[in-house]
Structure 1
Amino acid sequence: MLCRVTDVLVQAVDLVKRYPPRNRRDTGFTAVDGIDFSLHRGEAFGFLGPNGAGKSSTMRMIACVSPPTSGTLRVLGMDPRKEGQRIRARLGVVPQDDALDRELTVRENLLIYGRYFGLPKQVIAERGDRLLEFAQLTERGGERVEALSGGMRRRLTIARSLINEPEILLLDEPTTGLDPQARHVLWDRLFRLKQQGVSLVLTTHYMDEAEQLCDRLVVLDSGRIVAQGSPAELIATHSTREVLELRFGVGEQGTALEKLRDAGVHDRLEELPDRLLWYTAEGETALAVVHRLGLSPITAMVRRASLEDVFLALTGRTLVD
């Protein structure tokens, strides 16, 4: 049953997106397979999962550019199938690809995008000043987009998406391809937006990004939700407090794993191609056991559990597989 609470901005019930066959040999595929979720006003909500999990397909349905195959979807209380234009007027969209006009200046890009919404030039100019300041691009307003760095272009794309003062901002893989410093600058801008009351919906396959930005999230795998909750809740439910990462020389990892199991280690052990993970409440205690068994890892690191560990526990693979 759909929730009638006024602060629910997006709600999906048994949402499905199925793509038809492209040719006689193709059988088609189901990108989103019966998922339920909701976005509440003022929160940051995330879809976490690897490529092909159904994240972008879900975002396209929310953005009213791809109709659901079945199920129920409401965005701002409206049906995207029937009222897509009204919904889009109240959304901001940051796609994976910037789609900026690189031959035009920064301000000209804002002007053209604002005109799509029918905004007067004076309104666009006033909002543009505020948005360029917000995006730390004021001094670049007269430069062509092609002269900007990747991080600057991403911030401009976000500024452009805010020209219509949207209630919901959709961000599809917002920091893919950016260096660590540019990612942190972008996180700061998004955090400020949330403080200003803009509701955020984002997709990402970066677990640290989801932990930094999301109040709640769902973990998607093969079009289905395998877990949902706050980052802290998911980690507490599906992982231990700490993880001991062990890296061994070529051919030594299998022997090390066998020794740990023969020694009666009952904690969860995960063998990845490049390292061995020991999930435990006390990482340093586990490391002492490793040394007592005469094992000599090349590197050993105790860290807190993350959302990537959650995904590995739920699906048997890492987020970047």
Structure 2
Amino acid sequence: MIEINEVTKTFPHKKKPITALNHVNLTVKEGQVVGLLGENGAGKTTLLRAIATMLTPTSGQILVGGHDTVRHARHVKQLIGVLFGGETGLYDRLTARENLTYFGTLYGLSKHETKVAIDELTTRFGMKDYLDRRVGNFSKGMRQKVAIARTLIHDPAIILLDEPTTGLDITSSNVFRELILQLKKQGKTLLFSSHIMEEVQALCDSVVMMHKGQVVYEGQLEVLYHHEDSEDLNYIFMSKLARGHSA
């Protein structure tokens, strides 16, 4: 479970501080797949980075699996898998296998556990043909598959994904979507941001809509459809932004 309590994050600026998150409250229950929606600059990436212990909230508290992201950052990192947009976190001079082995070791897996995990992930993502090639020459789709494998190498209970299908071809995007459905069946907790409404509708139980650092809606999709008397998520999203926080 992820619990976000009155979290504010400001960044220093020449004229005045920039508020990226403004008293955000949010709960993601265990086993949920939650879509995070918002225009550029809404605070989605800042929120995900704060949950991932990469940013420290200016005020408020974030609990991941009951652990405070500031005081218990090491415990939180063991629980989560993270993938941020184009930041694959891979080393170009290493092969895909060497990258995955490195991250498996980093997460404390034994050699045997790492090998088993790599074999399973290689089969799942169809990476056998390029597993022992250097990542530096990979296509975007190949890199993204390895990056997702890196995210899952330690079998995390909670997975955070920021625009994971941006720039991917149709085949790679479909592989990702199938993965989300598999992880959902396994009871994993997922929070991912996306601009693709069809993707969110197909994969998510609930959505969180953000605007100017605030949450303007949090809840199940079916409840949202009923309340708005529409299943056009793009229309609902734009309408929510136009009406503001109180809507």
| TM-score relative to the length of structure 1 | 0.71
Residue 215 (structure 1) shift? 0.8
Residue 46 (structure 1) shift? 2.0
The corresponding residue for 1:187 is 177
Residue 69 to residue 189, structure 1, CA distance change in 2 (3 Å): same
1:18 aligns with 2:10: yes
- The one-letter code of the counterpart of 1:60 is R
Alpha-carbon distance in structure 1 between the residues aligned to 2:232 and 2:145: 27
- The one-letter code of the counterpart of 2:160 is L
Larger Rg: 1
The corresponding residue for 1:29 is 18
1:307 aligns with 2:229: no
Q: How does 1:63-82 map to 2 (within 5 A)?
A: 63-82=52-71
Deviations 1:21-54 (A, max 9, x none): 2xxx331211111121111111111211111100
The corresponding residue for 1:280 is none
1:198 aligns with 2:124: no
Residue 100 (structure 1) shift? 1.4
Deviations 1:161-191 (A, max 9, x none): 1111111011111111113332122111121
Alpha-carbon distance in structure 2 between the residues aligned to 1:69 and 1:195: 36
1:135 aligns with 2:125: yes
Alpha-carbon distance in structure 2 between the residues aligned to 1:26 and 1:129: 53
The corresponding residue for 2:224 is 234
1:163 aligns with 2:153: yes
The corresponding residue for 2:92 is 102
Q: Is the partner of 2:71 in helix, strand or coil? A: helix
Deviations 1:259-318 (A, max 9, x none): xxxxxxxxxxxxxxxxxxxxxxxxxxxxxxxxxxxxxxxxxxxxxx4211111112239x
1:154 aligns with 2:135: no
Q: Please say which of residues 134-143 and 54-63 is displaced more in the overlay.
A: 134-143
- Structure 2: any 5+ residue segments left out of the alignment? none
1:46 aligns with 2:35: yes
Alpha-carbon distance in structure 2 between the residues aligned to 1:138 and 1:42: 30
Residue 124 to residue 204, structure 1, CA distance change in 2 (3 Å): same
The corresponding residue for 1:58 is 47
The list of structure 1 runs, each at least 4 consecutive aligned residues, that deviate by more than 6 angstroms after superposition, is none
Alpha-carbon distance in structure 2 between the residues aligned to 1:314 and 1:191: 27
Report if the CA contact (8 A) 1:234-1:307 is conserved: no
- The one-letter code of the counterpart of 1:175 is T
Q: How does 1:245-264 map to 2 (within 5 A)?
A: none
Alpha-carbon distance in structure 2 between the residues aligned to 1:63 and 1:16: 15
Deviations 1:135-174 (A, max 9, x none): 2212321122234332222121111111111110111111
Q: Is the partner of 1:174 in helix, strand or coil? A: coil
Report if the CA contact (8 A) 2:122-2:131 is conserved: yes
- The one-letter code of the counterpart of 1:111 is T
The corresponding residue for 1:86 is 75
The corresponding residue for 1:276 is none
- Structure 1: any 5+ residue segments left out of the alignment? 1-8, 242-304
* Larger RCO, structure (CA 8 Å, separation 6 or more): 2
Alpha-carbon distance in structure 2 between the residues aligned to 1:181 and 1:307: 24
Q: Give identity over the alignment, percent.
A: 33
Alignment coverage as a number of residue pairs = 242
Report if the CA contact (8 A) 1:110-1:163 is conserved: yes
